[in-house]
Amino acid sequence: METKRGLFIVIEGVDGSGKSTQADLLANYLRSLGRKVHHTMEPTESGLGGMVRDGLGGEHPRTSEELAAMFLADRVAHNVSPKSGIKQFLESGTDVVCDRYYYSSLAYQGVDGPFDWVADMNLKSPVIEKPDLCIFIDLDPKKCSERIHSGRSHFEIFEENEAMIAETRRRYGKVFEFLKDRENIAIIDGARTIEEVFEDIKKEIEKLR
């Protein structure tokens, strides 16, 4: 009997928008429906993911191009790893919920010049799976910043200030405009309670099932 392919759902948003909170809820919700779920994230927790995190941390600053290539390598490994790869999970009927994916590379590294290059590397790669749905949690940068400051003490280079978050949000807008005819993208208002945001996510999931 042919195994039905799992659903591949990505949660995106600027730092502090509520991605990991909603990804946790979504993974648990799908499990409660009796589905098998692999909850994962990018950068990954592998060696490559660790190198990328070092590049973000500020001690060894990298150019956008270097970061784009490093995130790409991490993403390729994330897809093709024989034991824990996204492809293998989907083909064996397991849903994959991923906190950030190539939309982040387009928004954070695809600044001006390299945008086409970053888009091509990710979207034309024969080994990078296309998600069934990308959920973007949209939230005002001021609220993101408030949430980040109340919950964390460590700041990465992209979390430095509200202006930067606002710029990233604007770039995500451009990315989704660019992808609108070829990808399934749901933009969800994150400025509500955790439960209210999740209700909208559930509605998007229902459309896929």
Contact positions toward ligand ADP, by CB under 6 A? Answer: 13, 15-21, 147, 151, 193-194, 197
Q: In the complex, what is the shortest distance from the CB of residue 93 to ligand TYD, in angstroms, rounded to a whole number?
A: 25
Pick what 105 binds: ligand ADP, ligand TYD, none; C-beta below 5 to 8 Å, kind-dependent.
Answer: ligand TYD
Site string for ligand TYD, 35-74 (x = CB under 6 A): -------xx------------x--------------x---
Record the tokens describing residue 69, joined without a space.
Answer: 């290539």
Helix (H) or strand (E) holding 41: strand 37-41
Helix (H) or strand (E) holding 40: strand 37-41
Helix (H) or strand (E) holding 56: helix 47-57
Nearer to ligand TYD, 89 or 108 (CB): 108
Yes or no: say if 37 and 158 are a contact pair by the CB < 8 Å rule: no
Pick what 136 binds: ligand TYD, ligand ADP, none; C-beta below 5 to 8 Å, kind-dependent.
Answer: none
| Dist CA 57 CA 26 (whole Å) | 29
Q: In the complex, what is the shortest distance from the CB of residue 71 to ligand TYD, in angstroms, rounded to a whole number?
A: 4
Pick what 43 binds: ligand TYD, ligand ADP, none; C-beta below 5 to 8 Å, kind-dependent.
Answer: ligand TYD
Q: In the complex, what is the shortest distance from the CB of residue 1 to ligand TYD, in angstroms, rounded to a whole number?
A: 36
How many CB atoms within 10 Å of residue 142?
Answer: 11
- Phi, psi values for residue 188, rounded to 5°: -120, 135
How many CB atoms within 10 Å of residue 5?
Answer: 14
Q: List residues binding ligand TYD (CB under 6 A).
A: 15, 19-20, 42-43, 56, 71, 100, 104-105, 108-109, 156, 158
